[in-house]
Chain A
Amino acid sequence: MSQAVATGRTTTQDFSTWRRLRGWITNPWGKPRFLVVVTWTYIVWSIAPVLVAIQFSFNNSRSLTVWNGFTTKWYTSTSPDINSVFHDPGLRGALQQSMKLAFLDVVIATPIGVLLAIGLARWRGRGSGGANFLMLFPLVTPEIVMGVSLLLLFSHLLTAVPFGTPAQVLGHVTFSISYVVVIVRGRLFSIGRSYEEAAADLGASPPVALYRVLLPLLLPAIVASAAIVFAISIDDFVISQWLSNGANTTTVPMTIYNATRATPQPSTDGIATVIMVITLAAVIAGVLVFRFFTRGEHGRGSAIDDVAGFGI
């Protein structure tokens, strides 16, 4: 016995450094170290610039490259010399416009998307396959194409819709609905039809089954998709830009774009930071609510995978 162990040791010592290094990386019983390295490299690469931008929004000078100490004046100062995020009319207006669009988008796109998802998931037969596929179209259409087509639509056909907030909301709703449909439909497939059948079996008419059983079961997916709609709306640049009508309907991404092209300032980083925090908060809240409502559901996490998959 002890002899066998000793033999094993001797063999190990015969390994060259190179072979041991290779063994450390490719050891099939160990952690996937190579993949871990790749993952962390990517994470650092993607987050570091954002962290730098956040840092310079607290810089005590106009410079975006030289650190001059900490201040919050780019957020809160009321001095006319400093265009702070919360007091400069342009930045404040942009923040308000972005929030308004995101809110309206959530309120309009979520219910419509939920109804479409239920319809598509429960619709069997002729045309259902095609409709299911076409629902994904807005997800794969380049945003610039959708923006241009909406611009043409509103300027030539639907001239009753004025540019600015109404056109922007319609544009956002148009492409947001697909996200809601995809997430909610995933949840519908994973919960199956048996709960609705059980409800009908126990005497619930279809509307009652929808209200008492299906909607509560869909709630986590509805909340998650609302969070994602909020996040993509507040992030949107292309469609907001095409459908705006001047300064009073400028959104945060548009402001940042314009400011960065002209004279970037710490307050630009500041408003970017604010919007990022809001987006992050919305998505985290959505995921937490989703987790809360799906706790105890083991082994059927396909809906949460959907959310993770579409998490901006």
Chain B
Amino acid sequence: MAGEVKVVDLVKRFGDVTAVDGINLNMPSGEFFSMLGPSGCGKTTTLRMIAGFEQPTEGQILLDGDDMAFTPPHKRNVNTVFQSYALFPHLSVYDNVAFGLKRQKRPKSEIRERVGEALELVQLRGLEKRKPAQMSGGQQQRVALARALVLKPAVLLLDEPLGALDAKLRKQLQIELKALQQQVGITFVYVTHDQEEALTMSDRIAVMSEGRVEQVGPPQEVYEEPTTTFVADFLGVSNLMTAQAHGGSNGRCRVTVGEFELYAAQGDTATTGDTKIVIRPERVHLEPHDSSGENRVPGMVERVVYLGNANQIITGLANGDKIQALVQNTGQELTYKQGDPVRVYMPADALRVLTDTGTAPIDENAVPGIPSPAAREPLAGEGSPNVSV
């Protein structure tokens, strides 16, 4: 089946800077594959190498088994949706979409038919004569999609295609894009820094950091079972604690965090020594301060943040760690307020021992618990569009 992309030991250096540091990825045919990571993690550079705009320093890019390293971009059976859309401003919507077909010297009647179909697919029928400047951001995005899809590529590459749109439109297009991918059935390689986008649309996600792949897996797996500190911290909100592991029995690892003893039943439970443990805020329970039992740690409510659909409660533990709990808004009044002593219950089956003990991305400005803005990249139009990451 056509449309399988394999990336083998891929390296890209720009002078002294290593943008992509030996990555291996396998994107089977028809998969919605996302590369997720912060600015500068190498995801866009990888995509640009697949498209042919950059030459790999080392390694191979295989499309259906053929090495494409020496195939120029105009001869590759892949098409790109650019972050800035790059619609030709001097051409109408029709001519933009027909551009690729004209290069293939297709007969006029076929071009007309296929452009019509492509515009139908992205719901832009009737706007053929408009110039890109006369369209909204969302419409331009659809033209860019139609222009790439009309050529029926084996693989569609998307470089933060929703980055320049506002939040509501972005949500809507996420759903449409996923539906479109299932409809056309081709491989989508999607680059984004937005974890929500990656989680909602992808079949599999590669979380990248500093030119390396940290973890690859289905959305649920990378979210629920992060293997590295980076992934745990980058995807969603995590409570990370430095801990001492003392090995495990029965699939449970005994760890000490400061003076407290906890049991963790997830992750690398056989490990010993310095490690990190992580728990998602929605799995943390707050109980009255006089309750007892395993994995219950005394703390004090430091802050309550109202989020609308939930309340975020940040508690400080005696050793200085801050643990964030997410309490769904069920209409009942919160039991705890700032300054209240509580027991923080972290169930063993929600506590995960991480494999690596690397440092989490530094984000000094982030308020503890509020989704980290470190992952935000400038939108299209801000900063230089030529800086590839």
Contact = CB atoms under 8 A, between A and B. Distances in A.
Interface stretch (A56-64, A197-205, A275-283): A197-205
A195 B89 CA distance: 9
A219 to B, nearest CB: 8
A192 B86 CA distance: 10
B90 A217 contact: yes
A213 B88 contact: yes
B249 interface: no
B89 A202 contact: no
Interface string B66-96: 0000001111001110101011111000000
Interface centre among A200, A204, A293, A296 (most CB of B within 10 A): A200
A14 interface: no
Nearest to B79: A201
A201 B88 contact: no
A162 interface: no
B184 interface: no
Contacts of A293: 90
Given A200-B72, A200-B73, A296-B134, A195 B88 contact: yes
Contacts, number: 74
Contacts of A213: 88
Interface in A226-264: none
Interface string A171-193: 00000000000000000000011
Interface in A134-186: none
Interface in A266-312: 293, 296-298
Interface string B201-228: 0000000000000000000000000000
Contacts of A202: 74, 79, 99-100, 103, 147-148, 151
Contacts of B52: 200-201
A23 interface: no
Contacts of B151: 202-203
Contacts of B131: 296
A280 B82 CA distance: 42
Interface centre among A200, A203, A209, A216 (most CB of B within 10 A): A203
A293 B89 CA distance: 10
Contacts of B75: 203
B386 interface: yes
B298 to A, nearest CB: 56
A216 B80 contact: no
Interface string B124-153: 000000010110000000000001100100
Contacts of B134: 296
A221 to B, nearest CB: 13
B53 A197 contact: yes
Given A202-B99, A297-B133, A197 B90 contact: no
B114 to A, nearest CB: 13
B74 A204 contact: yes
A199 to B, nearest CB: 7
Contacts of A13: none
A203 B104 contact: yes
A194 B104 contact: no
B89 A201 contact: no
Contacts of B385: 192, 194
B279 interface: no
Contacts of B90: 216-217, 293
B133 A296 contact: yes
Contacts of A194: 82, 84, 86, 385
A208 interface: yes
A197 B100 CA distance: 13
Given A194-B385, A208-B103, A200 B86 contact: no
B86 A203 contact: no
B86 to A, nearest CB: 4
Given A296-B133, A297-B133, A203 B82 contact: no
Interface centre among A194, A195, A202 (most CB of B within 10 A): A202
Contacts of B53: 197, 200-201
B145 to A, nearest CB: 13
Contact of A192 (B72, B104, B148, B386): B386
Contacts of B87: 198
Interface string B142-186: 000001100100000000000000000000000000000000000
Contacts of A193: 386
Nearest to B76: A201
B73 A201 contact: yes
B61 to A, nearest CB: 15
Interface of A: 192-195, 197-206, 208-209, 212-213, 216-217, 293, 296-298
Can you list the 4 inter-chain pairs with the closest CB atoms, starting with the nearest?
A296-B133, A202-B100, A198-B86, A203-B103
Given A194-B82, A201-B74, 12 more contacts: A192-B84, A198-B80, A198-B82, A198-B86, A199-B99, A203-B75, A203-B100, A203-B104, A216-B88, A217-B90, A293-B90, A298-B133
